[in-house]
Amino acid sequence: MTSPRPVALFDMKAQQALIRAELDRRLAAVLDSGAFINGPEVRELEAELARFAGCAHAVGVSSGTDALQIAMMAEGIGRGDAVFLPAFTYTATAEVPLVLGATPVFVDVDPVTFNLDLADLERRIALVLKDGKLTPRAVVGVDLFGLPADWPAIEAICARHGMFALDDAAQAFGAALHGKRLGRWGHATALSFYPTKTLGCYGDGGALLTDDADRAELYRQLRTHGEGKSRYEVLRTGMNGRLDTMQAAVLLAKLPLLEGELAARTKVAAAYADGLRGLVQVPTSIPGAEHAWGLYSILLPEGADRARVQEAMKAEGVPSGIYYPKPLHHQPAYAAAHAGSILAGPPPLPVSEMLCHRILSLPMHPYLTAEEVARVVAAVRRAV
């Protein structure tokens, strides 16, 4: 008897089969036009992204990381500035401040939502102010795994301290909070279109969303070497951060599926929760939030052997992932970030450290069948 086909951790082939004709049509149009950089598809996509999110402006860029960098460059963030961000997230969020000469200040996360712990954020802002060596300039709120951060509270903290509020919604496009989709919270929202995201292209891509016309215009300049109204009018130092027309064409073919895919992800998440609640800590939400379910991450019981659990699941054809195995404040690249300041040394961030040892992500995509979800649940229950 043959073993059942392994469950896919992410599945882009099922989606592609649904839109292959439209993909071929749109890609052929780009090939025919030859407008491979800033072609009409980029402007069309920007309009559709803004419409979907309900914001005034969308600016396509080359990646989610470049979206973060362009947003911070536009604010003039650099040497002597403190950028507050969660310690439990992907490295891109922290590397951008360092590239610009600023200092990332790592903040612990909530043990239930895994998003910024607002009390710890306030404590670390107070520490920076007391130390006097850095100026608090920005808070990057990450909507981890697709769950919106507490944006009303983050906005209030930023307003009180005169800081820039940047939403890193790389895993959360399509999520909403209090009836407003991400893209309208904070001063700007950075998106990633990495292939496994809720809306992903076939390469790297990203976007910035904002309701601020001046910021949107500045983002467009910065993504294209700081150009003004003509190619050789250079108004400021920028970067090469443009979204390829081919990737815009792919995203335009995919975007009409997104509403249905978000609903399918929610259905999968509900089935996982029903099957695993009481055995492991299943993801939660916050009042008024609509989760995008970019990833479905459970918390194994304290003391569980995660490697053994993963091997047991793999033997049944059920893959898993670890997002993330090490908190940012323990990464070698950031070891010297706070040298000579009151924040010197890896700060105690117990929740982030705990999560890195117990987190486990299960297969999550809109094309999981009920039978596959049941297989995942059964494999986790036997492994744990």
The pLDDT, as a whole number, for residue 1 is 42
CATH number, domain of 141, equals: 3.40.640.10
Question: Which 3 state secondary structure label does DSSP give 247?
Answer: helix
CATH number, domain of 309, equals: 3.90.1150.10
Q: Domain boundary residue among 256, 286, 304?
A: 256
Condensed to tens digits (0 to 9), the pLDDT of residues 211-269 reads 999 999 999 999 999 888 777 887 888 999 999 999 999 999 999 999 999 999 999 99
Residue 186 has pLDDT above 80, yes or no: yes
Q: Are residues 207 and 342 in the same domain?
A: no
SS3 content of the chain, % helix, strand, coil (to 5): 40, 15, 40
Q: Are residues 227 and 275 in the same domain?
A: no
Range 354-363 average pLDDT: 98
Please check whether residue 1 lies inside any domain of the structure: no
Q: Report the distance separating Cα 43 and Cα 38, nearest Å.
A: 8
Please check whether residue 309 lies inside any domain of the structure: yes
Q: Are residues 182 and 208 in the same domain?
A: yes
- The residue range of the domain holding 93 is 13-256
Q: What is the DSSP letter of 277?
A: B
Q: Is 214 exposed, middle or buried (0-12, 13-18, 19+ CB in 10 A)?
A: exposed
Q: Are residues 162 and 269 in the same domain?
A: no
Q: Domain boundary residue among 256, 287, 311?
A: 256
Please check whether residue 4 lies inside any domain of the structure: no
The pLDDT, as a whole number, for residue 230 is 76
Please check whether residue 204 lies inside any domain of the structure: yes
Please check whether residue 80 lies inside any domain of the structure: yes
Q: Domain boundary residue among 224, 256, 288?
A: 256
Domain count along the chain: 2
